[in-house]
Every structure is written in C-alpha cells, then in structure tokens.
C-alpha cells in the first residue's frame, strides 16, 4: 500500500558563520547539520529505488544515497544506530565522506539530477553525507565500524604501491585494503592528503578532519611513506620489482605561470605556493609556526576557478583588500557557485575582462602594480563552450603589493618522465581500465585528466582499485 507523504519543498538550511566574523580567522565557515536538522532534511528525500535513483548516477563513486539517507529517517529515535547504519552504506563506496561532503561540487553531480528539484529545492546530499561522517567521528562510531570490519578482511597476499596520497591515491588505497591487498602509499610531502592538505583551506575543510579520515585508512592496514618522491627516492621500475601492481595518483601539482615580464618579482605567488604556505605550513599562525608568508594591503588574484577563490578568501583573512581579476566574464567563472557567493559576502571584488600583460616592480624587486589589457567577448565559443575573447588594445593598471597566480596546473614532470610511460600533452595515457602503457601500472585523477575535481579523482581511484583487483585476481589464478 502506498504511503501518502507530504513534499517538503524547501531545503533545511545549514548554519553558517557570518562573513564579518569569519574573515578574521581560518575556522570553518559552514557549521553543518545537527541530528534533528539532518533528519528533517533526510525526510525530504523521496527514496527513489536504487536501480533508478538519478542521484546515485550523478555520484562519481555511486554511493547508495537514498540508502544512507533512509537510515537517518528509519532510526530517527536512535541517532547512534542511524549514523552507524548510514556510514556503513557510505563506506561501501567512499572512504572519505567528511571530505567529499564538504568539497564536492554536488550541484554538478549527485544533486544535479535530484527529482525533488522538479518541485522545490534538491535534497542537500552533501551536507547529509558530511553530517553522518562528522557525527560518527565525534562519537567514535567510525572506530567501532572499523573494529568490526578489519578482522573480516581476507588477506590476498599481493602488494600494491600507490604513488601520491591525494584523493585518487587515498581512495584506491582504501578500496584495495578492504579487498585484502597489502597497500603502501608513497607521498612526496610530509603529510598525506595531497590537495586536501595543501590546497583546500582550513575554513572549507579542517585539516584535523582530513588527518582523521587518513588515520582510518591506516587502521585498514594502509601504510604511508611520506618524504618519498617517486622518480627520485625510488623509480616506478623499482616499485614493480617489489609490488604486484602500481597506481599513479600524483595529481597535477605543477603551477602554470603567466608568460609576462616581471613574473619573478617579489610578492608574486603561484596559488600553489601561497596555499601551501597557508594551509600545509600554517603560515597564518606565524611566528607560532615557522613558515612565513607575506600578504600586502592589496592583493590581486588572477583566475576565477576554485583555487582562485580559495587563494582570495585566504588572503582576505590576513586583512587584505582582495580583487579577483578574470580575463573572461562573470558567466564564465568556473568556481563553484557557493564559493563565489562566499567570496562576495566576504568583500572580495571581481574585475572581469582584464588579462595581465606586465607585472610592474619597484627598485627593490617587489611588485607594485599589474598592467592588464582590457578584453572583450566574441559570439564564437571554444571547445569548452566558453565565449572566446580578444584584446581591445586598451590597458588598465591596478596597484597591488601581492599577486597570486591561479590560472591552472599541469601534472608533475618528475613522474611523467618515467621511461616507457606514455604521456600526451603532459597527461598520462590510460586505457578503459585505467592501465597505463606499462603493464601492471595504473593511473587516475589529475595525473590523467589535468586539473579536475576531488571527487573525479576519487572516482578514478575506485575504478582503478576494481581494475587492479581484476588484474591481480587473474595473476593469482595464473600462479595457482
């Protein structure tokens, strides 16, 4: 018998800290749901069947979204049980839900196809996922689940090396560990997490949360070797002697620079350097932390992607006046809507249709202004569907004492110079199983895509783990 239910059109909002308070620190902006609010939001979900649910199709790792949301409603009288059951559903597909719940562009993925969108607001899937992970962590429910899971894992006796402890590598490692493989991650920096640690700021993704999610992978048996630079400390060839398979998740960490005079003046940072100093090295706590960073009175951030928003909003928290300079128009901005809104609320100014042509310095080699050419859009569109732009021959100079370049990144050269590894336009070439030109070596994430998103990298990590499992199962059977 069909149950009659009332549609709740409006989304239950999550509390946020006001802009004037949050620009004074690096603490998290969005405070997330309480259990009561989460249940209220969960009740809005229509519980589409799993084989149909469009939200599941939109999720790159295919979490059973109605499944976990349903648990919150089903066990509403027992919050701990509700969260434990929900987390179990999420963990089947995603080992880092506190992270993805915060940083995924849900509007382009799971939430994009949510049926509720036809009658009202889409279900706030990201914030519900985040709630489950946060509540579980605070109450130790995740530990309990791990404690139950780990002894059930059947060891396969085969070893897999993962290059890079970013979203792709961590996901692949988690999946492979759950399947019983002996997994070791090789990470160049001193902290695992990749862009989650050095790129995404504390106020969007607290580092303690990333660390705790990574610790759970360690409890699944994943070993992490930091300070190991594959290509220098050890080569892929050497890894293949010791391991049965290798996954490359080394990301796209090399910043693109603007080919304009004055690019090496002091005060000009790449977004990677600026964000690494601020996030990974905690330069905003200098001199309590040893790494310095300099943010002047006026900062120009060049670019309008998520990295540009992160850099601009970080700079704002040092008390600077911040301008985002973008060579295209407002409609072409590629950053998430939520981030652009947050940036605007925090008082960041946007200048459109200007393209830097020269960085002007003072007698000490410090930047003091940026000269831009004014651009205009054409009707014609490029391959990504964005309007093409041309210079107008008119120029404008804007003074600034700090400039942050956020125009994109390339895959790291240290990895792609591996002999025998097929690379096109700086990206590692893979087949439909994410296997590279070297048998037994797989790759995913930004290393094969160029700059993309955290969740796409995680999707690749999961797909690669499946492919590696198949590859190694065959290998086991051949040897048996």
Partner 1 sequence: MYRILEKKELSMRNIWYKIEAPHVAKKVQPGQFVIVRAFPNGERIPLTPVMWDREEGWIVLITFIRGKTTMRMANELKPGDSILNIAGPLGNPAEMEKFGKILAIGAYTGIVEVYPIAKAWQELGNDVTTLHVTFEPMVVLKDELEKAVGRHVLETVPIDPNLDFPTNMKNVTKRLVEKVREMLEKENYDLVFMVGPAGDQKAVFEVVKEFGIPMKADLHPIMVDGTGMCGACRVTVGGEVKFACIDGPEFDAYQVDWDVLIARTGYYTDMEMRAFQEYMKLFEQAVQGGEQ
* Residue 367 backbone phi and psi in degrees, to 5: -70, 140
Nearer to partner 1 by Cβ, of 364 and 477: the residue is 364
Q: Which of 264, 397, 433, 473 binds partner 1 (CB under 8 A)?
A: 264
By CB under 8 A, residue 257 contacts partner 1: yes
By CB under 8 A, residue 226 contacts partner 1: yes
Minimal distance in Å, beta carbon 281 to partner 1? 6
Q: Which of 14, 94, 412, 418 binds partner 1 (CB under 8 A)?
A: 412
Residue closest to 48 by CA, chosen among 127, 115, 117: 115
By CB under 8 A, residue 294 contacts partner 1: yes
Question: What whole-number distance in Å separates Cα of residue 95 and Cα of residue 149?
Answer: 13
By CB under 8 A, residue 286 contacts partner 1: yes
Q: Do strands 367-381 and 354-361 pair parallel, antiparallel, or not at all (unpaired)?
A: antiparallel
Give the DSSP per-residue string, 130-177.
HHHHHHHHHHTHHHHHHHHHGGGPPP---EEEEE--SHHHHHHHHHHH
> Of 297-336, which residues contact partner 1 (CB under 8 A)?
none
* Contact partners, residue 470, CB within 8 Å, separation at least 6: 433
Nearer to partner 1 by Cβ, of 115 and 234: the residue is 234
CB-based contact 340:308 (threshold 8 Å): no
Nearer to partner 1 by Cβ, of 125 and 406: the residue is 406
* Contact partners, residue 184, CB within 8 Å, separation at least 6: 159, 160, 161, 162, 222, 223, 224, 225, 243
Nearer to partner 1 by Cβ, of 228 and 371: the residue is 228
By CB under 8 A, residue 267 contacts partner 1: yes
Residue 26 falls in which region: left (phi positive, over 0), alpha (psi -120 to 50) or beta: alpha
By CB under 8 A, residue 290 contacts partner 1: yes
Question: What whole-number distance in Å separates Cα of residue 207 and Cα of residue 224?
Answer: 17
Q: Which of 29, 123, 177, 281 binds partner 1 (CB under 8 A)?
A: 281
By CB under 8 A, residue 455 contacts partner 1: no
Question: Among 105-113, 146-154, 360-368, 466-474, which window interacts with partner 1 (CB under 8 A)?
Answer: 360-368
Nearer to partner 1 by Cβ, of 25 and 382: the residue is 25
By CB under 8 A, residue 392 contacts partner 1: no
Question: Among 54-62, 82-90, 290-298, 332-340, which window interacts with partner 1 (CB under 8 A)?
Answer: 290-298
Size of the site for partner 1 (CB under 8 A): 43
Minimal distance in Å, beta carbon 218 to partner 1? 15
DSSP E strand boundaries for 344-445:
349-351, 354-361, 367-381, 387-399, 402-405, 409-410, 423-424, 427-428, 441-443
Minimal distance in Å, beta carbon 412 to partner 1? 6
Nearer to partner 1 by Cβ, of 137 and 277: the residue is 277
CB-based contact 254:215 (threshold 8 Å): no
Question: Among 53-61, 142-150, 152-160, 222-230, which window interacts with partner 1 (CB under 8 A)?
Answer: 222-230
Q: Which of 30, 74, 184, 291 binds partner 1 (CB under 8 A)?
A: 291
Nearer to partner 1 by Cβ, of 70 and 251: the residue is 251
Q: Which of 234, 357, 360, 398 binds partner 1 (CB under 8 A)?
A: 234
C-alpha dist (Å) from residue 278 to 142, 200, 474: 30, 10, 46
Minimal distance in Å, beta carbon 362 to partner 1? 10
CB-based contact 354:340 (threshold 8 Å): no
Minimal distance in Å, beta carbon 180 to partner 1? 27
Q: Which of 240, 263, 398, 421 binds partner 1 (CB under 8 A)?
A: 263
Q: For 365, which DSSP code? A: S
By CB under 8 A, residue 276 contacts partner 1: yes
By CB under 8 A, residue 357 contacts partner 1: no
> Of 177-216, which residues contact partner 1 (CB under 8 A)?
188-190
Long-range CB pairs of 258-262 (<8 Å, 24+ gap) are: 258/302, 258/356, 258/405, 258/407, 260/356, 260/357, 260/358, 260/359, 261/358, 261/359, 262/358, 262/359, 262/360, 262/361, 262/367
Minimal distance in Å, beta carbon 447 to partner 1? 13
Q: Which of 233, 392, 433, 473 binds partner 1 (CB under 8 A)?
A: 233
By CB under 8 A, residue 421 contacts partner 1: no
SS3 of residue 70 by DSSP: helix
Which stretch of DSSP H or E encloses residue 298? Answer: strand 298-302
CB-based contact 386:328 (threshold 8 Å): yes
By CB under 8 A, residue 228 contacts partner 1: yes
By CB under 8 A, residue 218 contacts partner 1: no
Give the DSSP per-residue string, 28-53.
-SB----HHHHHHHHTT-----TTT-
* Residue 230 backbone phi and psi in degrees, to 5: -70, 130
Q: Which of 66, 79, 101, 253 binds partner 1 (CB under 8 A)?
A: 253
Residues at the contact surface with partner 1, assessed by CB under 8 A: 188-190, 225-229, 232-234, 253-255, 257, 263-267, 269-270, 272-273, 276-277, 281-282, 285-292, 294, 364-366, 412-414
């Amino acid at each position: 018998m069909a149950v009659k239910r009332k549609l709740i059109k409006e989304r239950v909002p999550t509390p946020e800290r006001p802009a004037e308070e949050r620009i004074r620190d690096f603490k998290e902006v969005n405070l997330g749901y309480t259990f009561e609010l989460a249940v209220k939001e969960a009740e809005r979900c229509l519980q589409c069947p799993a084989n149909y649910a469009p939200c599941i199709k939109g999720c790159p790792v295919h979490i059973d979204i109605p499944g976990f949301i349903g648990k919150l409603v089903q066990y509403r009288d027992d919050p701990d049980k509700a969260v434990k059951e929900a987390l179990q559903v999420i963990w089947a597909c995603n080992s880092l839900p506190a992270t993805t719940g915060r940083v995924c562009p849900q509007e382009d993925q799971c939430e994009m196809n949510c049926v509720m969108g036809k009658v009202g607001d889409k279900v706030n899937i990201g914030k519900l996922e985040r709630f489950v992970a946060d509540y579980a962590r605070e109450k130790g429910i995740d530990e309990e689940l791990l404690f139950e899971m780990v002894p059930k894992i059947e060891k396969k006796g085969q070893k897999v090396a993962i290059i890079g402890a970013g979203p792709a590598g961590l996901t692949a490692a988690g999946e492979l560990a759950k399947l019983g493989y002996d997994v070791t991650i090789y990470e160049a920096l001193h902290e695992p997490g990749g862009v989650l640690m050095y790129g995404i700021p504390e106020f969007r993704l607290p580092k303690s949360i990333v660390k705790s999610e990574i610790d759970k992978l360690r409890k699944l048996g994943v070993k992490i070797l930091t300070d190991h630079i594959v290509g220098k400390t050890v080569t892929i060839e050497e890894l293949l002697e010791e391991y049965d398979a290798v996954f490359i998740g080394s990301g796209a960490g090399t910043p693109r620079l603007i080919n304009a005079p004055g690019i090496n003046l002091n005060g000009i940072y790449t977004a990677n350097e600026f964000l690494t100093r601020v996030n990974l090295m905690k330069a905003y706590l200098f001199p309590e932390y040893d790494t310095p960073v300099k943010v002047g009175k006026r900062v120009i951030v060049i670019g309008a992607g998520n990295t540009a928003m992160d850099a601009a909003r970080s700079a704002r928290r040092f008390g600077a006046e911040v301008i985002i300079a973008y060579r295209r128009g407002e409609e072409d901005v590629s950053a998430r809507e939520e981030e652009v809104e947050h940036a605007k609320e925090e008082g960041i100014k946007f200048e459109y249709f200007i393209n830097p042509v020269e960085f002007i310095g003072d007698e000490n080699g410090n930047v003091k202004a940026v000269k831009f050419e004014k651009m205009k859009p054409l009707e014609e569109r490029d391959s990504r569907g964005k309007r093409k732009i041309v210079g107008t021959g008119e120029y404008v100079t804007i003074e600034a004492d700090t400039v942050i370049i956020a125009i994109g990144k390339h895959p790291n050269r240290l990895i792609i110079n591996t002999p025998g590894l097929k690379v096109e336009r700086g990206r590692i070439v893979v087949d439909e199983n994410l296997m590279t030109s070297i048998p037994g070596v797989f790759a995913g994430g930004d290393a094969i895509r160029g700059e993309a998103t955290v969740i796409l990298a995680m999707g690749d990590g999961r797909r690669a783990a499946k492919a590696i499992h198949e590859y190694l199962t065959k290998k086991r059977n051949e040897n048996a």
